[in-house]
Structure 1
């Protein structure tokens, strides 16, 4: 199972997060348990922020 996501303010790249997300689907018929679903959702949320930041859509706070 992939590691737990970093706390808020993660410095992981979208590519690194994407690799962690893909690791959940190592087999097409694999079902996630409740804990895995929560972790997967956290990774997807973090990935969304990372991709927006990489595209310059998020301006860092002053």
Structure 2
């Protein structure tokens, strides 16, 4: 089972989430539908939050 997103308020590093997205794409051959698509969308949203957090922290 893949790791669950962290509780609200905690953001995993973008690089970690990106690796999970890459692994998902490799597993599925980029074919996203049903639960796989939902997992991708959750990871994508988490990645966007992580990038935003990292950019805000760096500024």
TM-score (norm 1): 0.70
- Give the number of aligned pairs: 57
Determine the structure 1 residue equivalent to 2:44: 44
State the alpha-carbon separation in 2 of the partners of residues 18 and 29 from structure 1: 16
Question: Please, what TM-score do these two structures have when normalized by structure 2?
Answer: 0.73
Stretches of structure 2 lacking an aligned partner (at least 5 in a row) = none
The structure number with the bigger radius of gyration is 1
1:9 match: 9
Deviating runs (4+, > 3 A) in structure 1?
1-4, 27-30
Provide the C-alpha distance between the structure 1 equivalents of 2:9 and 2:52, rounded to a whole number of angstroms.
Answer: 13
Q: CA RMSD in A?
A: 2.3
* Structure number with higher helix proportion: 2
